[in-house]
Structure 1
């Protein structure tokens, strides 16, 4: 080995020793700094029980209070559509005109038949009036008089039959003007001018929906309903009368409808295919925001729970359809707890299960801590209170 090679090896050895020493010193300094760093501070609130609303959130669909299918009641050709599609109409408003000429002719024919029947009755009545005095004088036999009475009764029956035919012909003539059976919003026309409609097949012409007030129908699992009834029987849940139960709607775009409705119907039978029962609420709909067929979510305030738990929504973490909160024990150690959420009351979540009275929930700072980590817990400011060290 040459002198240069020996010198190069010694230089490398000295550099390696210096780097190792520097690294060791850096590690010791980092460890000292880590050990000296104080635990992070988080804000917590204690878990307490209070009377809270029992909010049940269910999927639902909007339905019209009344829906009338407008169908043809006479045969004929549609001459004109007399309304604007998608507008509000009053009960009795004209919607379509069916060619009335045939029905008008039938009415005239029935009127003529009535006139003949009335003339025949007048003649039969005059015969009876003439025969009356003659029977007592034996100028007319009793048999002839009875025959005259029989003719009068038949003439009177013919008049009633003809009058009924006139009424029927007049009614069918009125049916040629198709009118709205209820007040509401009329839909698009199912037939156009020139179409042949039939009374026998009850040709659909249009639909009228009453939109204010309006119904929202929800489906609730029968098993959940059994649990609900058990809570009522045990006294854990206080429920008002059906008509006093308030319901709020969440629209398809996530917005709150804003107008409060009330339950007005609960089905007593279970749908075999879904295992659910139907409940229905009624809502004012002054601006026609709610339309039949819309999907909504209903937040039903089904009574109150005496020992409910509420936590601020900012303390709840929701991921993969699982809700969790972070808690701090008496030694200041963080733990993550899975909870079952109920409904929302303002900015708070109602906790159905997963927390106990006296536990401390982190409301601020949970993002910067991990389970098992030691923290400094301070009382969060709630309702104007000053944060206090716990």
Structure 2
């Protein structure tokens, strides 16, 4: 009986403490920070890193194998289209041209000789025809003369073909000689010089470049966008570009090209899409190709949305279901509200459904926010949206 009485007293004490706790909580409202929901477009950003490069690049290559005897430009020089860049050794090519000219001259002599032979045989045939008419020549002699003329005409035709062949060979030799003088294909800046005087220029290799010309009037930032973010990137979006050498100087840019396929990048677990950003105000600072850059691609929504600070959002998990909620303050009393999220920027979360502009939501402190329940009484200190 005494034990039963003791148990009853303990239970009563626990209930009493619980009631006192509730009474204390309701009598002393929690002080929370609040925010009045605003409605406006939201600006989300996609962050990426990359490097600067100049505009169109032209790889200057040799089309013949020869040693460099003159470099007419240095790295960093600005050149005009048609300007001399490199002169190669011409000796072997000049000899080849000379030999082919000799072959052409010989072929022309052979043609002339064949033509003279045909003319001579035709004169002889006319004489034999007259003698035959007078009965002083045999028919076999006439037939033999006609065969000789036909053979001479075949030889003449062959010599003409050999002349054309020699002329083609001379033309090719002259082109090879001309290729020993390498000129600028376009206006540009010499951004890289990969050969020295005395070195051998080799033809036929797509990866063997003598120098690189670039268009210095345009500069790009080539950045790698994570595959999870590429859906938020479209052509023409504005971009804030920061070169590592000038982190305090914001440069304006525009997305000008998006790769159609992803690629692997060393050091990253996910795939990335290369994106090209043209820097539109590159004259603010001295930019050089190869500089590392940080880019912020700006995607501003066309519609206005109710916005709340990110810290006001509470995630709720039940099994495999995930939902989000905020605590709304009305007359000093809080109530939970399930919301549907939209895009977000560095500060605000857009709300698609569940809340409207003008309502007041709790933003913190976190230690209080995580313990709030419907019906709790609070006092609020409103945060500014500045």
TM bracket, shorter-chain basis: 0.5 to 0.7
Taking a change above 3 Å as real, the CA distance of residues 91 and 309 of structure 1, as seen in their structure-2 partners, is farther
Hey, what does 2:243 align to over in structure 1? 251
In structure 1, list runs of 5 or more residues that go unmatched: 1-38, 229-238, 317-326, 334-338, 383-390
Alignment of 1:130-145 (within 5 A): 138=142, 141-145=145-149
- Answer yes or no: is the 8 Å Cα contact 1:219–1:278 preserved in 2: yes
Scaled by the length of structure 2, what TM-score is found?
Answer: 0.61
Deviations for 1:39-78, whole angstroms, at most 9, x for unmatched residues? Answer: 9999x75222322344322223334443333333333332
Taking a change above 3 Å as real, the CA distance of residues 286 and 244 of structure 1, as seen in their structure-2 partners, is closer
Aligned-residue offset at 1:83:
0.8
**1:271 matched to 2:263:** yes
Aligned-residue offset at 1:187:
3.2
The SS at the match of 1:91 is coil
Distance 1:125 1:312 in 2: 99
Deviations for 1:170-206, whole angstroms, at most 9, x for unmatched residues? Answer: 2222222222334322134333323344446786432
The SS at the match of 1:278 is strand
Hey, what does 1:220 align to over in structure 2? 225
**1:161 matched to 2:165:** yes
Hey, what does 2:214 align to over in structure 1? 209
- Answer yes or no: is the 8 Å Cα contact 1:263–1:281 preserved in 2: yes
**1:123 matched to 2:116:** no
Of 286, 298, 301, the match for 2:298: 301
> Is 304-313 or 66-75 further displaced after alignment?
304-313
Distance 1:297 1:272 in 2: 19
Taking a change above 3 Å as real, the CA distance of residues 223 and 191 of structure 1, as seen in their structure-2 partners, is closer
In structure 2, list runs of 5 or more residues that go unmatched: 1-29, 130-141, 313-326, 335-340, 370-377
Aligned-residue offset at 1:82:
0.5
Alignment of 1:1-390 (within 5 A): 46-128=36-118, 138=142, 141-199=145-203, 204-225=209-230, 228=232, 242-252=234-244, 253-267=246-260, 269-271=261-263, 274-284=270-280, 287=283, 289-302=286-299, 304=301, 306-308=303-305, 329=329, 331=332, 342-343=344-345, 349-351=347-349, 357=356, 358-359=359-360, 377=381, 380=384
